Each structure stands twice: as structure tokens, then as C-alpha cells.
Chains A and B, each alone.
Chain A
Amino acid sequence: MQYVKTIHILTKVYNEFDVITPQVEAIVAESGVKNGMVTVLTKHTTTGVTVNEALECLESDIAVALSLFAPEDRPYSHARMLRDYGSTAGNPTGHLKALVTGSHCHFLIQDGKINRGGAQDVYFCEYDGPASRNILVIVEGE
């Protein structure tokens, strides 16, 4: 079977990291799936979904590392009017940071629970906030 739910987040600042493990676990529990897989997938291209240890210090280090990789003051090409949007693109760093953390993660479900390591949490990463964001949680199995 497949069970799909959307987590909706209104992010509040330009870059932020939100632990969404409890929401994902709740969706897995309500799905009734005992053995299978869960995929957590962002629907946006200037956000990420990644797995890491939920520590304030690491969030800070990751933010700094990403800003070194994609500093705000470079002359990016993605800075122009986009006809499909009718608006100006100004978020190249968001797209680039999203490359690093990726768009999704997977976990094994066993006995109705996510099998994750003790230090593993699921992060939703905002790189162009504040914004209204949607994350798909796709539970598949029996």
C-alpha cells in the first residue's frame, strides 16, 4: 500500500533548519504500515531534506559551511527576469545549497517504526525563506 501526507511549514527566516522527525514518525504510525519504506521529499528547489544530528552547534556549522559554498555576494547567473514566473530570480544561493543537502531521504520501516540511528534526525532545510513550504511523506509497504 502507499500512504501519502503533506507536512506544511511556514518558514520564518531566510535560512533555517527544522527537525521534522516527530511529524514523519506520526505519519508512519497513522499509515498502519508495519514493514516498508518511508520517503520524505521536499516539493521545492530552494529547500532541502537531509539527515543529521539535531544539535544547535551542528546547525550553525552546517549553515556556515553552506554559506562558504554559496556566498551571497557572488555574481550569479540566476539573477534575471524569468518569463515563466513574471518575476525576478534572486535566489541562486538557495538552489545551490539545496544541491548539497538534497531533496529527500529514505528510512526503513520495521514493526511499524522508522529504523533510524540514535543520532539521526530528519531535517527540513529552508534556503530562501520566509516561505510557505510543503514536504511529502510517502509511506510504502504492508
Chain B
Amino acid sequence: MFIDIHVHPAFYEPINADENREELRHQELDIHKNGTAPLEHIFNQMRCAGLDKLCLLPEDYTSTVGCALVSNEEIRTLVDLAPDRFIGFASVDPSDPEAPDRLEEAFTRLKLKGLKLHPGRQHFMPGEERLEAIYQVCERYDKPILFHAGLSWEPDTFTRYCQPTAFEEVAEKHPKLRICLGHFAWPWVRETAMLMVKYPNVYADTGALYFDNAYEFYTQTFTKDIPVTWIDRSLRHQVMFGSNNPRFEQIRMADAITKIGLRDSTLELVKGLNAVEFLGGLD
């Protein structure tokens, strides 16, 4: 089982019938010249990467952009088109007073499997009191949260909201809440490892590729910035493969993760088993 835990489907063809909406997504995500992708192409990419499932992440930026760039309903639509391949997450805007109710609806009516939040873009500190109601909904329904962490290429993002230590209060106060620091919170990979070794409910995904090619960047990040033994020995149950596609190169990253020197049994965890645990099962 090979799962990409971090995929943004903003340019999937079935949710881009409206050209204005597509253009808004290009501008607000700062991803260009990629066009829209028919699902057949997505499936071709998955086959080339060896991926079995993709975790699709929406973005609710209502308070700053005026709408969700990809809505929970659109995620449901995509999942229904390929339920054996897609796992759908929800998004809410923490500035919306109705966010907890909307999240509950996403978990119950839309049957979404987790929550994506972006502190840097949605301008909140993860430990803020106003987030508590959202965290409690996740705990009540046993759903994980995938946070954007570390550098974000999107406009209007501030990295101070995304440093690993900003998530420590959440990990400490909610030990049963599974949280993932997206992108391994690059460039703060040592700090992310620090949190993970202390808090077993903290996961991280590998969705970063800001310099060089996939193999070179993974080699630098996961064998030099931190020794590969840290993952292979201590964090092997908390690291998940993620590509952050379409920002980064899913196929080459899926290949690179196999070449950094992890044991086969660790690779199996990173490629899928940890994601299944994080998600609370695939049902």
C-alpha cells in the first residue's frame, strides 16, 4: 500500500468547469502553467509513481480570499469519482465562528476523513484558544489534522505561524489527537524531529522540494539535515510520504523516498502503513 498523504487537487478537471475559478486558484495558490488534469492523467501519474491512494486536501480561505479555493463539497465530488483511489480531507476557516459546525458536517454528512489547516495562510497560531472547539470536534470524531508547517509558497503566508514549536501546545494538550506537520516543517526538520520524538501523536510528511531535484533534496533533508537513522530507528512510525503535488513532483519524490537508505520495513511504514494509522484506518 503506497499512499500520498499530501495532494492538492485544485486543478483536477472535474472541479474546474468554471474558468474564473480555475484562474483564482492559479493566482491564490501561485501555481501556474500547469493547466487542468483529467482524472485519467492523475491515474496515469499514480501508476507511474506506484501510488495506490491519494489524500486530497482542500483550502478554505473564506475570510481572506472570500471563498474556499477547494471546498469540502468539491473534495466529496472527487472522492465519489474514484472512491478506491481518493481519500478526502475537510478544511474550515478558523476565523469563521461556524467553523466547528461546518467541520462536524464535513465529518458526518460528507464523510471526510480528516482536517487540513494552514496556520500561515489562515493567520492563526495553532495554540490559540479559538482553535480549541475545532480540535475537540476532531477528537470527538477521531479524525486527524494535517497542518501546513514550515515554508509556504502561497501568497499572504507568514512562516512565524508555521514553526514546529508553534504546534507543541496542541500536541501536549491533545495527546489523542493525531497531528501531522506537513512538509516536515521544512526548513525546521530538526525541530520537527524534536517534537516527534517527544510526542507520539505528532506525524510529519515528506512534501518538500524547494531546492535541487527530488533525490538531492531528500538526501540533504533526510540524511544530512537529520541523519536517516533518526527516521529509521526512532521516528519510523510517524513519517508519511507526501508530495504536495502539484507544487512538487510526485513521481520523482515517490522514487527518491526509496533511495535514501531506509530499511525496507521502515519504507513500508513511510509509504503507507503510517498513513493508515494516522487516518484511523481506511474503512
Interface residues of chain A, those whose CB is within 8 Å of chain B, are 10-14, 75-76, 79-81, 84-88, 90, 129-132
Residues of the B chain whose Cβ atoms lie less than 8 Å from the Cβ of A86: 29-32, 153, 247
The residue from B31, B33, B34, B252 contacting A90, defined by CB atoms under 8 A apart: B252
Bound Cα distance from A131 to B249, whole angstroms? 13
- B34→A87 contact, CB < 8 A: yes
User: Across chains A and B, which 5 residue pairs bring their CB atoms closest together, nearest first?
Assistant: A130-B44, A79-B213, A86-B30, A86-B31, A90-B249
Known: A14-B48, A79-B216, A132-B35. A88 touches B209 (CB 8 A): yes
User: Residue B136 at the A interface, CB < 8 A?
Assistant: no
Given contacts A13-B48, A79-B216, contact A132 B33 (CB under 8 A): no
Residue of chain A at shortest CB distance from B209: A88
B247 near A84: Cβ-Cβ < 8 Å: no
Judging by beta carbons under 8 Å apart, are B249 and A132 in contact? no
Within the assembled complex, what's the spacing in Å between the Cα atoms of A14 and B49?
Answer: 10
A88 close to B32 (CB less than 8 A)? no
With the chains together, A124 CA to B280 CA distance in Å? 45
Given contacts A12-B44, A132-B35, whether A90 and B213 have CB atoms under 8 Å apart is yes
The reply to whether A84 and B32 form a contact with Cβ atoms under 8 Å apart is yes
How many contacts A-B (CB < 8 Å)?
62
Tell me the bound Cα distance from A14 to B50 in angstroms. Answer: 13
How far, in angstroms, from A12 to B47 measured CA to CA in the complex?
A: 9
Judge whether B212 is part of the interface by a CB distance below 8 angstroms. yes
In angstroms, Cα B259 to Cα A77, docked, is 21
Contact pick for B249, options A10, A13, A88, CB 8 Å: A88
Q: Is the CB of B48 within 8 A of A81?
A: no
Q: Which residues of A contact B47 (CB under 8 A)?
A: 12, 130
Please indicate which of the listed interface residues A10, A11, A76, A130 has the most CB atoms of chain B within 10 Å of its own CB.
A130
Check if B247 sits within 8 Å of A132, measured CB to CB.
no
Could you tell me the distance between the alpha carbons of A8 and B247 in the complex, rounded to whole angstroms?
24
**How long is the Cα–Cα vector from A20 to B201 in the complex, in angstroms?**
54
Judged by a CB distance under 8 angstroms, whether B141 is at the interface is no
CB–CB B33/A85 < 8 A:
yes
Nearest-CB residue, chain A, relative to B36: A132
